[in-house]
Structure 1
């Protein structure tokens, strides 16, 4: 899957298309979600070339840029072509929401030489345009080493915060499927995606159409590093849709949002801010990361709000998700309208 400046995962020239994935038989039940640390790491490299395309990530870009001098910038910068494309072998399809970076990096290090060459040629168009640093028998090992250093220095400290947003999105989508069905979930990803019968259509505008059978099911991958939905370039590629994760705009927020004065006066600013955030369900871990406070502090506030009848707690797998109660909704509506 090529990455492009407008879409985040395919070249802009190929963005204007309509793709249809046929989901029949077992494939219809094979829609799955996955998270890729390597995918996020690699896609973030485009912010080095043009940070203005990622305004939501400017706090992170600004904070990590001084660390670049300790990295193999020659290799990392070469991975993004002048067209803002990235080689396909750097963004393999993840298999699970629990994917670990170490496992993906090991998989990358064993990429066949022919696959590397094919990916570089597709990215740079001609052999002559491939940067010298990406040539030779040891080039892949240098790429792996550079990505690992980039991960450890710039990404790993913030990965729990990033993963919390991605996992919250996956949990939300799963709940949508359970409560409203696949069609409603696809329609909520973006206005460019819809389920039509046993097929999923991704519209990107030009009228160009191809259809492919997703015999092994369809993998949906949330990301923080795109502005639109992304699909494979041809029906022969892996059946994957990459889409902007819900809540991406909050990933670098570290302070409570402004709370209504009257509500904050009664509950305190932190509890009022929590109540405002919990229009959609979220876990205490996610809330702590987004608010920049400890899980212990968040749990104390959540217990108090729940005891007052303002929150409802629902277990979702290993997590407990909190959302506003009807009483809280009524109270907020009264305060806003008053």
Structure 2
């Protein structure tokens, strides 16, 4: 099926990019629900899936609203009010969803699968405001265990995509960029065609303009949101996703160790993937007490962050630490 989204001059003028934490929540959660994740995300999924299972999120609110296939609740992807909205801002927008919109989307979910007499669905219908507070609370749990430890790396990828395409717009125009987003997206004579899409996307189903959202987890397809009067949204695979989880080559250990000390440099290098104090102590040959002391110092310096996962705390490098270890990756790729 080939659907077309027509553009006026005003629509093109209102086309913009945004990096959305909630699109990463939705696409990554759906990826984890699949029987087999794409090879590009296998390393991430192997670390995250056990945490999600332990947290009981496989049968929670997100599971009700994000089926493994087909339509997913549009209320989870409110229109970003800025190019780089925070998760907190998007969660607040979700909680403000009108009750009528919640019920409409539940009906749309029900046309594709049997929602049965789920108490969560019943609460969403009968008390949307209270239910959405529970939905966003679960999203915060999912974020902490599945995305927050990796967010510096993911956000850098998404920002680099936006900077690259903004430069392409300046050099070649919007039509050129739209035509290069994805193999299923084609620009032709004032219309954006979505080829082989089950759900049509037309201008009478959406507001003016277009919001383009790069995603690390949308690969290999594009996803759309069309909720008038909001502009239509198109989430597409970000450039460079294939290398997102590859181990990074850092600077020689001695260079960083000369500034931070050998143990702290070793811990930062080990945090190429998030880890707990116990894991770091085992891998680095240090005492747990020593690791904890070093991590506190690194956290105070803004070089690591801590994220709770059940009874454990996972530590992750920040973008500042990545820039320190890998100077060539310290700024978005503008080429």
TM-score, length-normalised on structure 2?
Answer: 0.67
Instruction: Tell me, in whole angstroms, the C-alpha distance in 2 between the residues paired with 1:322 and 1:82.
Output: 35
Seen in structure 2, the aligned counterparts of structure 1 residues 92 and 233 have a Cα distance that, compared at 3 Å, is closer
Q: Look up the match of 2:103.
A: 117
Shift of 1:251: 1.3
CA contact (8 A) 1:40 1:224 kept: yes
Q: Look up the match of 2:21.
A: 37
Shift of 1:57: 1.4
1:294 to 322, 331, 334: 322
- Extract unaligned runs of 5+ from structure 1: 1-15, 258-288, 304-318, 324-338
Indicate whether 1:18 and 2:11 are aligned: no
CA contact (8 A) 1:250 1:290 kept: no
1:172 to 148, 161, 164: 164
Q: How does 1:1-338 map to 2 (within 5 A)?
A: 16-24=1-9, 26-68=10-52, 69-75=54-60, 76-81=62-67, 83-125=69-111, 129=116, 131-136=118-123, 137=127, 138-204=130-196, 210-212=202-204, 216-226=208-218, 227-232=220-225, 238-256=231-249, 294-299=322-327, 321=333
CA contact (8 A) 2:160 2:332 kept: no
Shift of 1:127: 7.8
Q: How many residues align?
A: 260
Q: Calculate the aligned-residue CA RMSD, in Å.
A: 3.4
CA contact (8 A) 2:34 2:68 kept: no
- Extract unaligned runs of 5+ from structure 2: 251-316
CA contact (8 A) 2:18 2:214 kept: yes
Instruction: Tell me, in whole angstroms, the C-alpha distance in 1 between the residues paired with 2:88 and 2:201.
Output: 37
